[in-house]
Amino acid sequence: MNYSIIALILIAATCWMPSATSNTASRVDRILSPKTPRAGPEETPAKQGKLQLLLSKVSPQNSPSVDPLVIADDIELFVACVRAGLSVQQATSAVSIVADEPTATYWKQVNSLLALGVEPERAWVHMRQLPGLQELARLVTMSEHSGAAIASGCQRLVETLRSDATSNAIAKAERAGVFISLPLAMCFLPAFIVLGLVPVVISLGAQLL
C-alpha cells in the first residue's frame, strides 16, 4: 500500500515539473527581455501631430484688410493683461477670446503654439502678415531675448496706429469732398459762363463797335 502511494507521488511530480519549469523560464524571459522605453509627454504622436497641424496653418497667405483701430484695441487689451501680471501666453489667450475675426484667428494660433512650447520666433511668425500685429510680433520676440519691457513699446504702437487711423480718415474725408464738389462744379461752371461772362463780353463788344 505504501509503495503504491509513493509511486503515485512520483508520477505526479514528474508531470508537474515540466509545467513549473516552463512557467519559471517564461518569467525569466519576461524579466530579462529588453523593455521599450516609454515616450514622454512631449514625444507623443498626438502632440506632434497637433504641432504640425498648427505650424501648417502658418503658411504665407494674403493679408486680410483689417481696421487699424481694431488692431489697436487688441494690442491695448494685450498690454493690459501683461501689466496685470499675466504671461505672454495667458495674455494671448485672453485676447483670442475677446477679439473679433479676422484677428481672433491669429491670436488663437499664437496662443496654441505658445502653449505647446514653441519658440516665440515660430509662434509669432504668422502675425507678421498684418500691419500693426507685425510690429507687435517683432516687439514680443525681441523682448523674449533682451528682456525689454513689452508694455511701453506696445503703448507707443497703439498710439501710432490710432494716429495713422485718424490721418487716413481725414484724408478719405477730403477726397470724398473733392469727388462731391466736382459734379457740382461741372454743372455750375457752364451756367456761370452763359449767364455771367457772355453778357459782359457782348456788352463790351457792342460798346467798342
Assess whether pLDDT exceeds 60 at residue 4.
no
Q: How many folded domains does the chain comprise?
A: 1
CA pair distance 127, 114, nearest whole angstrom: 13
Q: What is the pLDDT of residue 40?
A: 39
Assess whether pLDDT exceeds 80 at residue 80.
yes
Mean pLDDT of 85-104: 88
Assess whether pLDDT exceeds 50 at residue 145.
yes
Assess whether pLDDT exceeds 80 at residue 94.
yes
| Residue 200 counted as domain residue | no
CATH number at residue 71: 1.20.81
CA pair distance 94, 111, nearest whole angstrom: 9
Mean pLDDT of 169-184: 78
Among 140, 146, 103, 125, smallest CA distance to 54 is for: 125
Distances (CA, A) of 18 to 13, 24, 26, 63, 197: 9, 10, 12, 76, 130
Show the domain range for 108.
66-163
User: pLDDT band for position 198 (50/70/90)?
Assistant: confident
Q: What is the pLDDT of residue 62?
A: 52
| Residue 33 counted as domain residue | no
Residues of the chain above pLDDT 90, percent: 3
- Supply 67's cell numbers: 481696421
| Residue 37 counted as domain residue | no
CB distance 98 to 77 below 8 Å: yes
Assess whether pLDDT exceeds 50 at residue 37.
no
Mean pLDDT of 103-117: 89
Q: Is the pTM of this model over 0.75?
A: no
